[in-house]
């Protein structure tokens, strides 16, 4: 009773003080969160013109009808992700949201009744719940093991509630709001400030959940809390989440949805945690934004920060391989792509609300479904009218940091004469918060079939109960985040920043140069000076198209400047099966040992080691019907190591992937140069190898110091190129001149590639 | 001179005595080998009605035109497979054959001129050639490293020659026949009896090559030689080929094409070497047969041995997984499928000449091309008229041996409620000659996506020069042929027959029972008594469909009767990543050792070992979006071992595949029982596991001796089944009665499956 009185008083105060909104009026204007009354009218009358919408709706109907037949289950929460209660509650919110849409678009009351009945079950259960019994999260939920999933629930269920709002009896609404929605909104915000008041994808869900249910209930207090955060959260500066990420951004005390828009993205829409997490966060970002468009058009949320949400959707689409699978940078499960449900919403909402870009329609076509609102409806109509145009992946650089000054991500793409795309992504972004990997100046390489040189991704099987309840596995920290797990130099067998998140978050790499304007030569170059003390790392990657080669080449120059003698390991995490080398090696045939004790080396078996016979070490390998060759300069003492992942893995959590590692010991400053080729194909049905051998004969560093790098490479047919590079002057006008013995090299700008 | 005179006399005798054929008449009736004059007329006038034919022809034209533009290259032979001269000569014969077809169907003389010019180059080169310099084959060729490839060349080029025969000047024909075709035909037969006079796929090529060029030239002597073999080959009984296979079949002195038809197949069309090699041999079988249909219709070659060739084509199609990839039994490269060029010819010729089976059209549709003759033309017409019907893979047993009494191959197939096919192939065939593996009572399991429980196939990268010139690698013998590489019991860490081919060829397993007539329970059962002395192996595999399970279950009973105490290893070569076990194990985390010194064990790393805690050992794994669980009975002392392939592999020739091995030591007779389930799915885009846990709780042997096996298995939900089996009485009428403690089991026939 006391609670109720307090509640009514609070409601009264909010209603009177904040916006003087007439609750009665709002109550008569549902749905208006995602679906709107006029939108519903339009859709109902024109379904024939939008076959993909009708098809998506029919699939939703089949799914929801089957659930209705099975009956409602609202079990007492107990399990981790992957377990029954978790998966059941998760399914419930997906189904409730769809049932709401179905009620509005078909008018069939059974859907409304199903929502009412299930929500009343939740309203009965919720007040009885303490914290979830697992108690394993920095922010334990009630329905799920973490608040994050409770917030997911509320973002989806707000939509269902909006759809049946007017159909429900006022007493039912009152009960649901009193026992379920309002307590949940408070739990996710007031009672969990570390979860709610943070610049992080978790908090985006929290903000959206509280804001969306606030909009449906007409509770401006909740909406304000969602937009601007809690005023005083009393969170200590050094508080961390389960993934080791800091709750607070040093020196900033901001929170709420608008602050997320200000600080989660770079000015061009890049999301520090990477595309896998942006894919996850984009749903609450866009759904709450769309709700605000409908409820508070004056806020101009889609124009906020120069249209940051639209930019973020494009950033997401561009940060994917030729098949549309997101680059698995930082913690990310591989295979997530623009086919994800969140992207269906993102593509359709962006198309409808931000400019009718016809290239988005071709992605919608691949998704083979649309978002079930007016936006998806328009997409389906325009698809039926053949307005789709191909989505063109572009070479592009994304800056990192809210100010765009914290490094970035360089993406190079070209098609060779084989017409397959080669796509390189080099990472020189800031540390990706709790999900960051110690992988500065690493890269990954893709073609039309997927990975060629891989990034490991995360050591996690999302939602698969058998693997640690679906959470991050211990090997995520001991392996996946470590530097040797990535295609970048590891110094002295130590991970960058010795694996310290705080140190990594305080420094960022710096972009040096990015230019993809020349269709035949594209360059990305960046530096990192703080990951290892007394050591400057500078990598330049060049994609080169020439009609002689079936696919573009990759020239890779990794320059190290160091004051002391050190050991450098540069791995190639090639996908596939080794075919041949041009050097001798000794294989460990009857026993295997690990390559080290820590920093990820404890997870590597050493399979073989050799020395280069010639000035270049070459390996040729085969993967998914294609032949690849890597040619790299090698010094006489360089160790050429074949390693395989899988040691110290008592629970079989890791993949057993191969790597080729060049190790250079007792060296101060040095330059690593290599050329990668994708040159041939083989199909086991035809059994005829096409171009099984690479064309490159050698790659030779001609000059290398802090100021300049000059490298030549030559084909077996005798063609020779020279790549010249200024390391300390990014001006495109500067004139450079280097004398090497009797030869003079002259060029203008940062780099030049010349055929001799 | 003496040779030539003898040859002419023999030719004269044959020409006069055998068929009294008028050579002049034949000469005016080309083409008549594969294409025929009336066939060409028909095709030319009706191309519009056969769009797939026109499309295939256009593709051939593009390919040949590009080659004509590049110019003719007939290099002096030098390289192994994968090297330049090998691949060039190989390409030449493919292109020549296509150019011949193009000349006939388009009438463009440039194709005839191209053939003439290249053949004249060959005619200049051939007389200068000694044996190929590689000298690595039991039958070294002249153009290629082995006679086999020379025979390939002649089978294809005979067709080209037939197509331009009438267009050539008589003097050109005379020159080609004198310097090229006749010497080559003699070289491949008279001069290489071990190659020509043998029951083997190599000899089928030789017979067809000699026979086809004989038909074109009107040389009945060659045709007779091809059909009936050399009379006296003087090959010693113990001569062997490069693969370790014996040239002679013990006690049989037969050779030639008709003998191949008599002895290479079982009465139902099974080919002892397996489908990979039948795929290779089917081309000369069918092409020579078709040539004989055109030239010697009275021979009735397609009706020979009750239509054995047609049966063999169906055997090939049935011996494939749900995607059409051939079972890789014996030496076989994986991935070969009914999309192979040889199968295009086989499907079209079989359709046209043997009954217009409309289900073959659906395979032609998947092949997306047709054979460029009258048969392919008819296929294209009937496809355009929508006559195609689905090709239905069936559960079927193939007997082995020319008499059908040397074991066989049992194939079980069912669709579960998930509508995906599960397909099991159990092998109890005779030893597959030089390409045989020591794998009696092994099996492999497939679903719609391919392999689930794999057979390794061969250790060979066909035509890939970097891997041993594309030939069989040393690991083919040390690993791929060994028993532990297969899903069958290895006794005392020794390969069956101690790895001796001769011993294996003298004995064969025996089928015990096969019944796939019940749509919900299908059984295959076979015995092997000679592979290990004093040991009888008896395996029964049962595929069970029940609406409770999304896919059929596999119940596997492996019974061993032995007079002495022995060690038994039963591996599961599961594809994928281990998720969980219901038992504890100790993983080798910091070093790995091999499991043994020989018989394949030297190639296995031991990764972990455990003991069962309960009566059943379960493992759950994940592969390509699916969850699988194996539940097996385990005794207290059974060792449960996780192994991985890749040890003693100095050239990285092997795949690093995982295995789960149950080891039972110090045991005489015993029974191994297990149940396999494919129960769930997971998609990294949706991230929602569906049915990630299996249903089976346990599997329990209730009774096992030489006479009977009784096994029960139970679901977590409490449903229980009992499978009862008579081991020594294959009668379907016999009544059986077994008392186990207080329980009585009674059934009629070989087996019974009852739910309790």
pLDDT digits (tens, 9 = 90+) for B387-407: 999 998 999 999 999 999 999
Q: Which residues contact A486 (CB under 8 A, 6 or more apart)?
A: A437, A438, A439, A442, A455, A456, A571, A573
For residue A658, give how far its alpha carbon lies from the nearest alpha carbon of chain B (Å): 10
List A277, A428, A708, A751, catalytic entry: A277
pLDDT digits (tens, 9 = 90+) for B631-656: 999 998 999 999 999 999 999 999 99
From chain B, the residues in CB contact with A591 under 8 A are 591-594
CB contact under 8 A, B590 and A591: no
Give the count of Cβ contacts less than 8 A between chain A and B. 138
CB contact under 8 A, A591 and B594: yes
Strand ranges in A18-120 using DSSP code E only, listed in sequence order = none
CB contact under 8 A, A579 and B620: no
- Among all residues of chain A, which has the CA nearest to that of B642? A652
CB contact under 8 A, B592 and A591: yes
Quote the DSSP letter at residue B36: -
pLDDT digits (tens, 9 = 90+) for B265-302: 999 999 998 999 999 999 999 999 999 999 999 999 99
SS (H, E, C) A130-191: CCCCCCCCCCCCCCCCCHHHHHHHHHHHHHHHHHHCCCCCHHHHHHHHHHHHHHHHHHHCCC
Side-chain-side CA neighbours of A617 within 13 Å: the count stands at 24
Rounded CA gap, B94 and A189, in Å?
73
Q: Is residue A691 part of a domain?
A: no
- Among all residues of chain A, which has the CA nearest to that of B585? A650
pLDDT digits (tens, 9 = 90+) for B295-354: 999 999 999 999 999 999 999 999 999 999 999 999 999 999 999 999 999 999 999 999
CB contact under 8 A, A655 and B577: yes
From chain A, the residues in CB contact with B602 under 8 A are 590
Is residue A186 a contact partner of residue A127, using CB atoms and an 8 Å limit?
no
Q: B23: pLDDT confidence band, cut at 50, 70 and 90?
A: very low
From chain A, the residues in CB contact with B592 under 8 A are 591-592, 605
Which of A594, A607, A692 is closest, CB to CB, to B466? A692
Closest by alpha carbon to A696, among A631, A750, A627?
Answer: A631
CB contact under 8 A, B656 and A652: no
Q: Is residue A544 part of a domain?
A: yes
Q: Check pLDDT > 70 for residue A20.
A: no
CB contact under 8 A, B593 and A589: no
Which of B339, B591, B644 is closest, CB to CB, to A591? B591
Which of B336, B467, B692 is closest, CB to CB, to A579? B467
- The CA-atom distances, in angstroms, between A444 and each of A200, A591, B725 are 25, 31, 56
Q: Is residue B359 part of a domain?
A: no
Which of A465, A577, A685 is closest, CB to CB, to B337? A685
- Among all residues of chain B, which has the CA nearest to that of A586? B650
Q: Is residue A129 part of a domain?
A: no
Work out whether the CA dihedral A571, A572, A577, A583 comes out positive or negative. negative
Rounded CA gap, B466 and B670, in Å?
46
Which of B340, B622, B652 is closest, CB to CB, to A578? B652
pLDDT digits (tens, 9 = 90+) for A336-366: 999 999 999 999 999 999 999 999 999 999 9
Written as six digits, the tokens of A36 are 């709107």
CB contact under 8 A, A605 and B592: yes
For residue A87, give how far its alpha carbon lies from the nearest alpha carbon of chain B (Å): 8
Closest by alpha carbon to A278, among A400, A129, A382?
Answer: A400
Q: Check pLDDT > 90 for residue B83.
A: no
What pLDDT shows up at residue A13?
Answer: 40
- Among all residues of chain A, which has the CA nearest to that of B325? A685
pLDDT digits (tens, 9 = 90+) for A81-100: 888 999 999 999 999 999 99
pLDDT digits (tens, 9 = 90+) for B709-739: 999 999 999 999 999 999 999 999 999 999 9
For residue A598, give how far its alpha carbon lies from the nearest alpha carbon of chain B (Å): 12
Phi, psi of A352 (to 5 degrees): -75, -40
Which of B334, B580, B607 is closest, CB to CB, to A466? B580
From chain A, the residues in CB contact with B587 under 8 A are 649-652
Q: Check pLDDT > 50 for residue B10.
A: no
CB contact under 8 A, A649 and B587: yes
Q: Is residue B412 part of a domain?
A: yes
Q: Is residue B217 part of a domain?
A: no
Which of B334, B461, B591 is closest, CB to CB, to A593? B591
CB contact under 8 A, B655 and A577: yes
CB contact under 8 A, A465 and B689: yes
CB contact under 8 A, B685 and A334: no
CB contact under 8 A, B684 and A579: no
Average pLDDT score over chain B: 94
Strand-pair partners of B740: B743
What ipTM does this complex have?
Answer: 0.91
What pLDDT shows up at residue B233?
Answer: 74
Q: Check pLDDT > 70 for residue A5.
A: no
Written as six digits, the tokens of A377 are 């409806």
Radius of gyration of chain A (CA): 28
Q: Report the CATH number that the domain containing residue B516 is assigned in CATH.
A: 2.70.98.70
Q: Is residue B423 part of a domain?
A: yes
Averaged pLDDT, A389-416: 96
From chain B, the residues in CB contact with A337 under 8 A are 685
Residue B656 is part of which domain span? 396-670
Q: Is residue B156 part of a domain?
A: no
pLDDT digits (tens, 9 = 90+) for B100-148: 999 999 999 999 999 999 999 999 999 999 999 999 899 999 999 999 9
pLDDT digits (tens, 9 = 90+) for A44-62: 999 999 999 999 999 999 9
Check if A435 is active-site: yes
Q: Check pLDDT > 90 for residue B753.
A: yes
Rounded CA gap, B602 and B595, in Å?
6
Number of domains in chain B: 1
For residue B54, give how far its alpha carbon lies from the nearest alpha carbon of chain A (Å): 21
List A435, A508, A538, A679, catalytic entry: A435
DSSP, collapsed to helix, strand or coil, labels residue B661 as strand
Determine which of B148, B586, B622, B652 to mutate to test the interface with A (most A C-beta atoms within 10 Å).
B652
From chain B, the residues in CB contact with A334 under 8 A are 684
- Among all residues of chain A, which has the CA nearest to that of B595? A590
Q: Check pLDDT > 70 for residue B62.
A: yes
CB contact under 8 A, B337 and A578: no
- Among all residues of chain B, which has the CA nearest to that of A334? B684
From chain B, the residues in CB contact with A326 under 8 A are none
For residue A143, give how far its alpha carbon lies from the nearest alpha carbon of chain B (Å): 18
Which of B463, B592, B692 is closest, CB to CB, to A687? B463
């Amino acid at each position: 009773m006391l609670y109720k009185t307090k509640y009514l008083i609070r409601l009264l105060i909010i209603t009177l003080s904040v916006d003087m909104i007439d609750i009665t009026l709002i109550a008569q204007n549902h749905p208006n969160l995602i679906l709107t009354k006029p939108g519903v009218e339009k859709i109902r009358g024109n379904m024939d013109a939008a076959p993909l919408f009708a098809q998506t709706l029919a699939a939703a109907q089949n799914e929801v009808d089957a659930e209705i037949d099975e009956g409602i289950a609202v079990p007492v929460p107990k399990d981790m992700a992957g377990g029954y209660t978790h998966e059941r509650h998760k399914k419930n919110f997906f189904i409730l949201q769809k049932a709401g849409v179905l009620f509005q678009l078909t008018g069939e009351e059974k859907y409304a009744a199903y929502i009412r009945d299930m929500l009343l079950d939740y309203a009965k259960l919720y007040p009885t719940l303490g914290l979830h019994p697992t108690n394993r999260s920095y922010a334990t939920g009630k329905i799920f093991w973490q608040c994050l999933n409770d917030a997911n629930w509320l973002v989806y269920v707000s939509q269902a509630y909006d759809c049946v709002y007017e159909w429900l009896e006022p007493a039912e609404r009152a009960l649901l709001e009193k026992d379920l929605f309002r307590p949940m909104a408070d739990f996710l915000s007031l009672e969990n400030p570390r979860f709610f008041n943070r610049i992080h994808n978790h908090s985006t869900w929290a903000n959206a959940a509280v804001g969306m249910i606030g909009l449906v209930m007409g509770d401006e207090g909740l909406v304000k809390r969602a937009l601007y955060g809690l005023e005083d959260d009393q969170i200590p500066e050094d508080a961390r989440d389960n993934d080791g990420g800091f709750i607070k951004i040093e020196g900033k005390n901001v929170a709420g949805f608008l602050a997320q828009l200000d600080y989660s993205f770079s000015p061009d829409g890049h999301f520090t945690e990477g595309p896998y997490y942006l894919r996850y966060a984009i749903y609450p970002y866009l759904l709450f934004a769309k709700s605000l468009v409908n409820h508070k058009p004056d806020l101009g949320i889609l124009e906020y920060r120069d249209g940051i949400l639209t930019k973020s959707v494009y950033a997401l689409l561009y940060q994917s391989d030729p098949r549309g699978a997101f680059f698995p940078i930082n913690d990310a499960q591989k295979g997530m792509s623009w086919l994800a449900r969140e992207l269906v919403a993102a593509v359709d909402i962006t198309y409808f609300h931000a400019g009718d870009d016809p290239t988005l329609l071709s992605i919608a076509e691949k998704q083979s479904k649309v978002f079930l609102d007016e936006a998806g409806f328009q997409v389906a109509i325009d698809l039926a009218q053949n307005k789709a145009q191909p989505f063109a992946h572009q070479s592009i650089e994304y800056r990192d940091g809210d100010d765009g000054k914290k490094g970035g991500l360089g993406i190079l793409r070209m098609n060779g004469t084989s017409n397959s795309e080669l796509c390189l992504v080099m990472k020189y972004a800031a540390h990706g918060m709790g999900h960051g990997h110690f992988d500065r100046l690493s890269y990954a390489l893709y073609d039309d079939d997927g990975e060629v040189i891989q990034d490991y991704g995360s050591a996690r099987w999302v939602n698969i109960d058998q693997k640690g309840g679906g959470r991050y596995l211990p090997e995520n920290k001991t392996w996946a985040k470590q530097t040797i797990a990535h295609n970048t130099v590891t110094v002295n067998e130590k991970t960058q920043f010795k694996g310290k998140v705080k140190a990594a978050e305080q420094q960022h790499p710096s972009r040096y140069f990015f230019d993809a304007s020349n269709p035949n030569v594209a360059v990305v170059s960046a530096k990192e000076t703080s990951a290892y003390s007394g050591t400057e790392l500078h990598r330049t990657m060049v994609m080169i198209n020439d009609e002689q080669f079936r696919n573009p080449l990759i020239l890779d120059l990794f320059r190290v400047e160091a004051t002391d003698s050190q050991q450098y390991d540069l791995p190639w995490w090639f996908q596939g099966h080794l075919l041949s080398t041009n050097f001798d090696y000794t294989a460990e045939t009857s026993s295997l040992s690990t390559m080290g004790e820590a920093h990820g080396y404890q997870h590597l078996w050493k399979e073989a080691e050799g020395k280069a016979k010639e000035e270049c070490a070459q390996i040729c390998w085969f993967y998914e019907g294609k032949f690849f060759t890597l040619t790299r300069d090698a010094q006489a003492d360089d160790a050429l190591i074949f390693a395989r992942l899988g040691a110290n893995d008592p629970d079989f959590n890791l993949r057993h992937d191969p790597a080729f590692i060049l190790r250079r010991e007792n060296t101060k400053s040095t330059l690593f140069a290599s050329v990668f080729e994708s040159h041939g194909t083989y199909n086991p049905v035809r059994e005829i190898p096409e171009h099984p051998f690479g064309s490159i004969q050698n790659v030779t560093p001609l000059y290398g110091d802090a100021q300049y790098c000059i490298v030549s490479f030559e084909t077996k047919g005798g063609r020779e190129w020279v790549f010249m590079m200024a390391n300390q002057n990014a001006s495109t006008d500067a004139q450079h001149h280097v004398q090497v013995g009797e030869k003079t090299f002259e060029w203008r700008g940062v780099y030049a590639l010349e055929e001799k």
